[in-house]
């Protein structure tokens, strides 16, 4: 979700679901240690529960970043060992680290020394030709021995050469039974399934086999799908908001961000899918896409877009 789930996106999603754990986009250790960490770490308190997702491989750097996450009050620190992009591989992190379980374990151990927050791992079921179940279990055993108890498993292997990141999300076949088997073989670990989950009902079907389900792009493209998550998954029976009320709940946040120089479109780009399947959704998207990036665009631009849905 690099370049997708920024702080504006997360604040918006939090208006729809109170309990779903939200993750940051992957932030590299280099960005945190050699640039302005506040740029990547700041968030609104309403975003909790919130996990920081890190990309990196050097244990001492991961430890320093875990300490920063602790200072900033993140609820969880997640190490991404599943991203297959060329940029990530060139930095020796992401999915290529599945070939180095010992190094991943060192990183996890160093992070756990630096923080009391949960340290979790996101990974694939395999990479390239190293995709046997025996290799997957060896990887999980090695990292679990370093103190990681939560594994978020994208139920596809990754091809590090020959496929783009987009193709790696679609071409390798999903193997949900392998993730289910992992949970049966490691009952004391928390196993969260990821990959190809497009609805809450699909997520619920997985929860009979594993401990959690992660939804990515489907929730971004159709954020309203999360509206019933609090009731169906977390047992919170409070009344559901209406999509239009979610828009209005963004008013103060938008005003505060505009006053600090944030362009309107950086916020509204995450809201384009809110009315998916509702009459006027196309007009909503079109108006925001055409007007939110114009000089002087403000809250009235959002209201004008909303009027095209509610008419």
The values of phi and psi at residue 285, to 5°, are -65, -45
> 228 with 247, same domain?
no
Catalytic residue (one of 9, 65, 83, 148):
83
Is pLDDT above 80 for 3? no
Q: Helices in the chain by DSSP H: which ranges?
A: 7-14, 29-34, 37-41, 59-72, 86-90, 101-114, 133-144, 165-168, 176-185, 200-206, 217-221, 229-232, 243-249, 251-259, 264-268, 281-291, 299-310
> 150 with 263, same domain?
no
Residue bearing the bigger pLDDT, 82 or 7 = 7
83 included as an active-site residue = yes
Average pLDDT over residues 289-307: 97
- At 4, the pLDDT band (50, 70, 90 cuts) reads confident
> What's the pTM?
0.94
Residue pLDDT, tens place only, 253-266: 999 999 999 999 99
> 81 with 203, same domain?
yes
The pairing of strands 150-158 and 119-127 is: parallel
The whole-chain average pLDDT of the chain stands at: 93
The boundaries of the domain holding residue 298 are 243-310
Is pLDDT above 70 for 88? no
DSSP letter assigned to residue 192: E
Q: Give pLDDT, residue 95.
A: 86
Q: Give pLDDT, residue 239.
A: 83
Residue pLDDT, tens place only, 203-223: 999 999 999 999 999 999 999
Residue pLDDT, tens place only, 22-38: 999 999 999 999 988 99
Q: Give pLDDT, residue 311.
A: 54
Q: Give pLDDT, residue 163.
A: 75
User: What is the C-alpha separation between 157 and 131, in angstroms, rounded?
Assistant: 7
Residue pLDDT, tens place only, 35-64: 889 999 999 999 999 999 999 999 999 999
Give the chain's domain count: 2
Alpha carbon 189 to its chain's center: 20
Residue pLDDT, tens place only, 237-256: 888 889 999 999 999 999 99
Q: Give pLDDT, residue 87.
A: 59
> 145 with 111, same domain?
yes
In a domain, 106, yes or no: yes
Task: Give the containing element (helix H, strand E) for 47.
Answer: none
CATH number assigned to the domain comprising residue 97: 3.20.20.70
Chosen domain end from 172, 203, 232? 232
Q: Give pLDDT, residue 52.
A: 98
CATH number assigned to the domain comprising residue 249: 1.20.120.1460
Q: Give pLDDT, residue 99.
A: 93
Q: Give pLDDT, residue 2.
A: 64
Q: Give pLDDT, residue 1.
A: 55
Residues in CB range of 242: below 8 A, 6 or more apart: none
- At 170, the pLDDT band (50, 70, 90 cuts) reads confident
DSSP letter assigned to residue 52: E
């Amino acid at each position: 979700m690099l370049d997708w789930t920024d702080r504006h996106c997360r604040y918006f999603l939090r208006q729809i679901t109170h309990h779903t754990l939200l993750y940051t986009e992957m932030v590299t250790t280099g960005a945190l240690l050699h640039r302005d960490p506040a740029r990547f770490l700041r968030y609104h308190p309403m975003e909790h529960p919130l996990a920081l997702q890190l990309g990196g491989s050097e244990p001492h750097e991961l430890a320093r970043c875990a300490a920063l996450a602790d200072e900033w009050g993140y609820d969880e620190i997640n190490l991404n060992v599943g991203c297959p992009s060329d940029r990530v591989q060139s930095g020796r992190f992401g999915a290529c680290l599945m070939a180095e379980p010992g190094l991943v374990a060192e990183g996890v151990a160093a992070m756990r020394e630096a923080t009391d927050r949960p340290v979790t791992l996101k990974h694939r079921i395999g990479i390239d030709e190293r995709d046997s179940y025996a290799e997957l279990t060896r990887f999980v055993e090695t990292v679990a021995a370093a103190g990681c108890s939560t594994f978020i498993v994208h139920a596809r292997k990754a091809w590090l050469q020959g496929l783009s990141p987009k193709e790696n999300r679609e071409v390798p076949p999903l193997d949900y039974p392998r993730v289910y088997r992992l949970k049966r073989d490691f009952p004391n670990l928390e196993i969260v399934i990821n990959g190809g989950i497009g609805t809450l009902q699909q997520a619920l079907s997985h929860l009979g086999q594993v401990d959690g389900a992660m939804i990515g792009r489907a929730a971004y493209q159709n954020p309203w799908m999360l509206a019933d998550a609090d009731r169906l998954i977390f047992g919170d029976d409070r009344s559901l908001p209406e999509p239009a009320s979610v828009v209005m709940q963004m008013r103060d946040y938008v005003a505060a961000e505009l006053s600090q120089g944030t362009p309107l479109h950086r916020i509204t780009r995450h809201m384009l899918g809110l009315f998916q399947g509702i009459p006027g959704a196309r007009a909503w998207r079109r108006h925001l896409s055409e007007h939110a990036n114009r000089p002087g665009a403000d809250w009235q631009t959002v209201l004008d877009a909303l009027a095209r849905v509610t008419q």
